[in-house]
């Protein structure tokens, strides 16, 4: 299970703006074989996308959907590649976000790492809470829509247990 980013962690930035990458995330990055952390601003969210080679790959995939000379490609490349940064990870596993990145996510002195499988996001904690509420609402809708499609047990299966 060390090959996916899961769960969320809230850490504090110190006086120099450094923040520890959660240990479990570092393990995933190490397995991905990446020195440095790949970070860019999320397109529609006040958050940052971060990861290793796996994230790089998904960005290339997105761009590959468009002709390299199209306006769309140009726009996406600007948004993704143009705002990307490769952050150095210090010996203790900490990174320092640039002002631009912090501004985009509205980050002050704490931030939340959120696992997304192949990548993870970085949020300002309060904003993440709100976003999570929205996500749960959406999941309810999807669950209803998928109801009876043979995906047992992802959420709220209603069976009762037997008495012992």
- Token couple for 97: 């976000």
Q: How far apart are CA 53 and CA 58, in angstroms?
A: 9
Q: How far apart are CA 58 and CA 14, in angstroms?
A: 32
Nearer to a second copy, 17 or 57 (CB): 57
Residue 60: other Cβ atoms inside 10 A: 11
Residue with tokens 């008495």: 163
Nearer to a second copy, 91 or 153 (CB): 153
Binding string to a second copy for residues 53 to 92, with x set by CB under 8 A, is what? --xx-xx-xxx-x--xx-xx-xxxxxxxxxxxxx------
Nearer to a second copy, 15 or 23 (CB): 23
Looking at residue 5, what DSSP letter applies? B
Q: How far apart are CA 164 and CA 153, in angstroms?
A: 22
Binding string to DNA for residues 77 to 106, with x set by CB under 7 A, is what? -----------x-xxxxx-x-x--------
Binder of residue 23, out of a second copy, DNA, none (CB less than 5 to 8 A by kind): DNA
Q: Is 158 in the site for a second copy (CB under 8 A)?
A: yes
Q: Is 34 in the site for a second copy (CB under 8 A)?
A: yes
């Amino acid at each position: 299970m060390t090959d996916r980013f899961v769960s969320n962690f809230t850490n504090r930035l110190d006086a120099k703006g450094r923040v520890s990458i959660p240990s479990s995330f570092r393990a995933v990055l190490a397995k991905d074989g990446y020195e440095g952390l790949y970070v860019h601003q999320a397109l529609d969210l006040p958050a940052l996308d971060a990861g290793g080679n796996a994230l790089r790959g998904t960005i290339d995939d997105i761009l590959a959907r468009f002709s390299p000379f199209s306006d769309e490609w140009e726009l996406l490349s600007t948004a993704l590649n143009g705002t990307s940064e490769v952050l150095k990870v210090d010996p203790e596993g900490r990174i320092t976000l640039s002002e631009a990145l912090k501004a985009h996510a509205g980050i002050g002195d704490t931030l939340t790492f959120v696992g997304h499988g192949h990548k993870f996001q970085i949020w300002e904690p309060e904003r993440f809470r709100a976003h999570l509420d929205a996500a749960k609402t959406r999941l309810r809708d999807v669950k209803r829509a998928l109801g009876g499609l043979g995906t047992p047990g992802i959420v709220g299966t209603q069976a009762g247990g037997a008495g012992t």
